Amino acid sequence: MEVDWIEAIYRIDSDMPLEKAARIIAMEESTGTWTEVRTTDRDLGFVTATVGDIDERARTASVIYPLDLFEPGNVPQLLSVVAGNLFGLEQIRKVRLEDVIMPHSYVRRFPGPRYGIEGMRHLVGSERRPHVGTIVKPKVGLTPAETAKVAFSAALGGVDLIKDDETLTDQAFCPMTERIPEVMEVLDKVWEETGRNVSYAVNVTAGPEEVAERADIASKWGANMLMIDVLTSGFTGLLELRRETSLPIHVHRAMHGAITRDPDHGISMKVISRLVRMLGGDQFHVGAITGKMDATAEEVLPLDRILTEKWHGLRPTFPVASGGLHPGCVADEVRHRGMDIIMQAGGGIHGHPAGTRRGAMAMRQAVEAVTQGRTLEEFAVEHEELRQALEKWGVGKKEEYYAE
């Protein structure tokens, strides 16, 4: 049954009873203020939030916000309500927005992914297997020609996706209008030699208006995919990009740790993942279980489900595993997360003892092993590139990621 409210779930740390703390949040984020006011005699119950379920053990409480409180299609206004002043309330030590449950009538005002998982598989021409992606390394400093050279090696080695680093946009040492044609030219050569389509996600991160301008420029220079850092550009930047381009959109979560890392304060990645899917991200970084970032299966798997489960008719978003991945991580990631995942490796490809091309081959060999139900160690006996990668990095999570 369709409901006419949005439910926000909060984890609350306060000296006062949980229900009282939730009532304070409900008042602050809807019609209340710190003292009694009499500016109208009308009943404002139609926009007044109320307290929903209380879970003392989990220290969570839900707040029910009437749908009339929200402007359709406006994510900044949504966040101003469910994630607004409550973080600064003196009576509450810490509060974390864990999730937001939205009705179909609200979600349907947003476009969702244009391509989604199946659309990206069609563009690449892949069967149901994990996709392999890479980030050009070093992170920044390469010229357009050097960037293209690295991209060529990775593409020949078998990656499905090459993306700019989240810190590379249109700097003087590697202008976008020079970088794109250089990279796309070598990807055309890869297609001629192998018959494989490789996507190149060009980072167009900027303010909302400039994002649209850069998307248009990138398209004119032959780009076949775009990338945006959603939290630094803003959610409106992603929505503008979705509206202004027909190209697939790869979404990075740079800066998320400042918002999501504290388990008792801030905003959960669940919320960010829902918004990215609503606003049109075809691919989205949600972390890796075995990588260098601070994440566990219990944290990552719910994000995969949010991106891929049936939800208000929106296409699913392709989850991206990234951050310290290498061929030895593939089996564990797939064992937990299944085949609908992008294995995004930077150093884990370019740091291969035999170079970038062999590193990409090793990642594809690891994917082939798991899709065939074989162990990485067994497959490595027959594949030199994978064997070298496992000898260097091992199998599973590394203990150290940065040399002294």
Alpha-carbon distance of 76 to 176, in angstroms, equals 29
Do residue 194 and residue 254 come from a single domain? yes
Q: Kind of pairing, strands 60-66 and 5-13? A: antiparallel
Q: Could you tell me if 374 and 346 lie in one domain?
A: yes
- In a domain, residue 346? The reply is yes
Residue among 137, 250, 256, 285 flagged as catalytic: 137
CB 256 within 8 A of CB 269: yes
> 137 and 43, same structural domain?
no
Assess whether 217 and 347 both reside in one domain.
Answer: yes
Strand partners, 347: none
In a domain, 399, yes or no: no
Residue 398 lies in a domain: no
Which CATH number does the domain housing residue 124 bear?
A: 3.20.20.110
Pairing of strands 199-203, 249-252: unpaired
Place of tokens 């749908």: 67
Residue range 222-239: average pLDDT? Answer: 97
| Look-up of token digits 């966040």 | 79
**CATH value at residue 38:** 3.30.70.150
pLDDT at position 170 is 97
The pTM score is: 0.94
Per-residue pLDDT of 21-60, as tens digits, reads 999 999 999 887 645 546 455 666 678 999 999 999 999 9
Domain co-membership, 373 together with 307: yes
Taking each helix axis as running N to C, give the angle between helix 356-371 and helix 330-337, from 0 to 180 degrees, rounded to the nearest 10.
Answer: 40
Across the strands, what pairs with 345?
134
**Is residue 74 located within the same domain as residue 125?**
no
Who wins on pLDDT, 39 or 223? Answer: 223
Domain extent at residue 59: 5-107
Domain boundary, last residue among 42, 72, 107: 107
User: 266 with 377, same domain?
Assistant: yes
Measured CA to CA, the distance from residue 330 to residue 209 in angstroms comes to 38
Nearest-angstrom CA–CA distance, 219 and 321: 26
Instruction: Please indicate, yes or no, if residue 400 is contained in any of the structural domains.
Output: no
Total of domains in the chain: 2
Of 131, 163, 250, 252, the active-site residue reads 252
Whether 400 shows a pLDDT value over 60: the answer reads: no
* H or E stretch at 114: none
Give pLDDT, residue 295.
Answer: 76
| pLDDT surpassing 80 at residue 69 | yes
Can you list the pairs that 383-390 forms with residues at least 24 positions away whose Cβ atoms lie under 8 Å?
385/352, 385/354, 385/358, 385/359, 385/361, 386/327, 386/361, 386/362, 388/352, 388/353, 388/354, 388/358, 388/362, 389/326, 389/327, 389/328, 389/348, 389/352, 389/353, 389/359, 389/362, 389/363, 390/327, 390/328
* 336 catalytic residue (yes or no): no
Q: What is the pLDDT of residues 236-273, one digit of tens each?
A: 999 999 999 999 999 999 999 999 999 999 999 999 99
- Please compute the mean of the pLDDT values over residues 70-84 and round it to a whole number: 96
197 and 235 inside one domain:
yes
pLDDT tens, position by position, 119-177: 999 999 988 899 999 999 998 999 999 999 999 999 999 999 999 999 999 999 999 99
Query: Do 139 and 69 belong together in one domain?
Result: no
Q: What is the mean pLDDT of residues 172-197?
A: 97
pLDDT of amino acid 291: 77
Residue 142 tokens read as 């390469």
- Provide the pairing of β-strand 5-13 with 266-267: unpaired
The percentage of the chain sitting over the pLDDT mark of 70, rounded to a whole number, equals 94
252 tagged catalytic? yes
Whole-number pLDDT of residue 193: 95
Structural element, H or E, at residue 202: strand 199-203
Specify whether 388 is located in the same domain as 259: yes
With respect to residue 404, please indicate whether it lies within any of the assigned structural domains.
no
